[in-house]
Amino acid sequence: MKIKINRSAQEQLQPILNRIENRNIWYPLYNLEDQPVFKGRDREKEFYADLDRYLDFNGKTVVDLGCNLGHYSFMAARLGAARVVGLDIDENLIQAAKILRDHLGLNQVEFKRTDFLRADVGDRYDVVLLIDYIGRNVITKFKMKQVLLAAENYCRHEILLTFHPDYTIQHKLRTTPDRLISFYTDQYIRNGKFQTLEYVSDYFKGKGHLAAHSPAQEWHADNKMPVHFIRGVSDQDL
């Protein structure tokens, strides 16, 4: 889902996005002529355009953890979510997301500046989105368990996560096996890779049903794998 903005929205966003490092803006924004006006990290190839392939958003409440500019928050709203809350630690991103929300007329979406890893959880939501959040920084800063616990705490029924099933330790994570073993133990370190999917599977074991989906044929090879967790549902119940 490309977000296209008019000249007025672009002028409102310009001073805010100028304060954000380019690498911290995940996806580009386009003008009405379909030209990128805020390129960001240009991760369009990693964009998941068919979230409804994995779960039904219709009438549900949704929280988007690490929402950035709100691309997935807006997608959930357009797929029928009754209420969507996007959380991010960066106040500038939240301000920009609110401008985009008003520009798109998606009144069921709200944005809050929150460190969701530290905040006391108030509301729980039918669906938790944790998309393109788990990666090198989360793994090498030893935050995997903290991130998954936060997603679980916000979740009433379902979580949709994306991440690579494994990460090459030297090339992708830019660290050493010994450093990772010191925190994660050697159980998840094999063949020079950190076994992300195995770690997530073990975390949710016994708590519900976890399904990992292979990326569609047309997606870029660097795409992260969508993983769908349903709380309290066993394989026999599906």
75/48 Cα distance (integer angstroms): 10
Does residue 51 contact residue 75 with C-beta atoms inside 8 Å?
yes
Q: pLDDT digit of tens for each residue in the chain (238 aa)?
A: 789 999 999 999 999 998 987 778 888 899 999 888 888 776 655 667 778 888 999 999 999 999 999 999 999 999 999 999 999 999 999 999 999 999 999 999 999 999 999 878 788 999 999 998 999 999 999 999 999 999 999 999 999 999 999 999 999 999 999 999 999 999 999 999 999 999 999 999 999 999 988 655 444 556 788 999 999 876 655 5
Place of tokens 């929280």: 63
Q: What is the widest separation between alpha-carbon atoms in the chain?
A: 54
Q: Which two tokens stand for residue 189?
A: 């370190």
Residue among 81, 74, 73 at smallest CA distance from 56: 81
Does residue 217 contact residue 147 with C-beta atoms inside 8 Å?
no
Q: Is residue 221 helix, strand or coil?
A: coil
In order of their start, the domains of the chain are 4-237 (3.40.50.150)
Query: What are the two backbone dihedrals, phi and then psi, of residue 158, each rounded to the nearest 5 degrees?
Result: -135, 150
Pairing of strands 36-38, 189-190: unpaired
